[in-house]
Amino acid sequence: MAGIADVARAAGVSKATASRALTGAGYVSEATRTRVQHAAKELGYVPTTSAVSLVTGRTQTIGVVVPNLDRWFFAQVLGGVQEALLERRYDLALYSAPPESDARREMFTHFLARKRFDGVIAVGIEPTAHELERLVDFGKPVVSVGGYDAGTSAVSIDDHAAARIATEHLLGLGHREITFLGGDPDGRQMSFGDARRLAGYWAAMEAAGARGGGRHIPSEVTMPGGYGAAVELLGDRLTRPTALVAVCDEVAVGAIIAARRLGIRVPEHLSVVGIDDHEYADMFSLTTLQQKPDQQGRTAVRLLMAQLEDPATPGSHTYEPSPLIMRNSTAALDDATSAIVTIGR
């Protein structure tokens, strides 16, 4: 079996350089890294990682903290992180537990305290439990995905701007009775990003002098959650809005399904805008603000690697774009809609 010396010889570099190139500990140029990795692959060289760890003090592992796995956003981010780490030959240690659960507390006091990672990517961390600050205290690089940053490096969309643009799109079509749907179920606090979206919505309503037509209807941030809340909201003709800004696409799709069941035509009698560009968006012709969570995951890995190479790299918050994707779930508030609304009142 090939050793590091064979790899170094084949790549025409010193053993120390070959080792740095393969472990990620210390600087090597991208060209050298590629050459060494190529040589290692050709020779079928597999570093014994325990030995690598002893030499470098590195684990070649990145910890990823997520609240849960069965929501689209988190699964997508995790997918992007996994891809980017595989490319860089890092292992991914997964730490998933719901916020404020016993498992979550245990995760922080026991697992993360073992520090079996070179750095952490923290996805969807909420400010409340000061978890991000605790991660930083472990003394390893931390990158946050999902809005809240606590001064660490971070990547997210601009949630405030996304919801503002969604709302302005509806205002531009003549709507004034615009409800923000989703978040804050059972009076629990909204997530950091969702709260930013709600604030962006209110900012747009205020700026247009339409605050009086605004309203926030809470729901679980899921498709069934959006469906349930929308059935109730839209079932009452007296208070039915002409347009919805949904906190995310899953809630928006739930609302569209609710509207169809109630015989309310989208977009003729109800306009709906989401945020995400979820894989279901196209199937429901949903106009939405697009984000690419897998890309955010990849960006997070890039930011983390920069800090691993040079711990003096200053933290920065990268905002990924979130363009408006026009499909067919929004329409101008025409006379017909107005008439229906008027008759209803």
Smallest separation, CB 210 to a copy of itself (Å): 32
Smallest separation, CB 272 to a copy of itself (Å): 16
Mark the segment that binds a copy of itself (CB under 8 A) among 8-16, 70-78, 157-165, 238-246.
70-78
Encode 34-54: b = buried (16+ Cβ within 10 Å), e = exposed: ebbbebbeebebebeeeebbe
Q: CA neighbours within 13 Å on the CB side: how many for 33? A: 14
Query: Does residue 283 belong to the site contacting a copy of itself (CB under 8 A)?
Result: yes
Give, rounded to a whole angstrom, the gap between the first and last alpha carbons of the chain: 81
The answer to whether residues 9 and 40 touch, using CB atoms and an 8 Å cutoff, is no
Q: Which residue has tokens 């780490």?
A: 85
- Residue 242 has φ and ψ, to the nearest 5°, of -95, -10
Residues 27-56 that bind a copy of itself (CB under 8 A): 44, 46-50, 53
Mark the segment that binds a copy of itself (CB under 8 A) among 3-11, 25-33, 95-103, 179-187.
95-103
3-state secondary structure of 28: coil
Residues 113-172 that bind a copy of itself (CB under 8 A): 113-114, 116
Residues 209-228 that bind a copy of itself (CB under 8 A): 222-224, 227
Query: Does residue 328 belong to the site contacting a copy of itself (CB under 8 A)?
Result: no
Do the strands 142-145 and 119-123 form a parallel or antiparallel pair, or are they unpaired? parallel
Q: H helices within the chain, ranges in order? A: 4-11, 15-23, 30-43, 49-56, 72-87, 102-106, 131-137, 159-172, 192-207, 223-235, 249-261, 293-309, 335-344
Mark the segment that binds a copy of itself (CB under 8 A) among 11-19, 88-96, 136-144, 195-203.
88-96
Residues 165-204 that bind a copy of itself (CB under 8 A): none
- Residue 319 has φ and ψ, to the nearest 5°, of -100, 120
Nearer to a copy of itself, 95 or 202 (CB): 95
Nearer to a copy of itself, 145 or 170 (CB): 145
Q: With CB under 8 A as the rule, give the number of residues binding a copy of itself.
A: 49
Query: Does residue 262 belong to the site contacting a copy of itself (CB under 8 A)?
Result: no
Query: Does residue 1 belong to the site contacting a copy of itself (CB under 8 A)?
Result: no
Interface pick for a copy of itself out of 17, 82, 191, 291 (rule CB under 8 A): 82
The answer to whether residues 114 and 138 touch, using CB atoms and an 8 Å cutoff, is no
3-state secondary structure of 88: coil
Query: Does residue 79 belong to the site contacting a copy of itself (CB under 8 A)?
Result: yes
Smallest separation, CB 180 to a copy of itself (Å): 22
Backbone Cα Rg of the chain: 24
Q: Which residues bind to a copy of itself, rule: CB under 8 A? A: 44, 46-50, 53, 61, 64, 68-70, 72, 75-76, 78-79, 82-83, 86-87, 89, 91-97, 103, 106-107, 109-111, 113-114, 116, 222-224, 227, 254, 257, 260, 279-280, 282-283
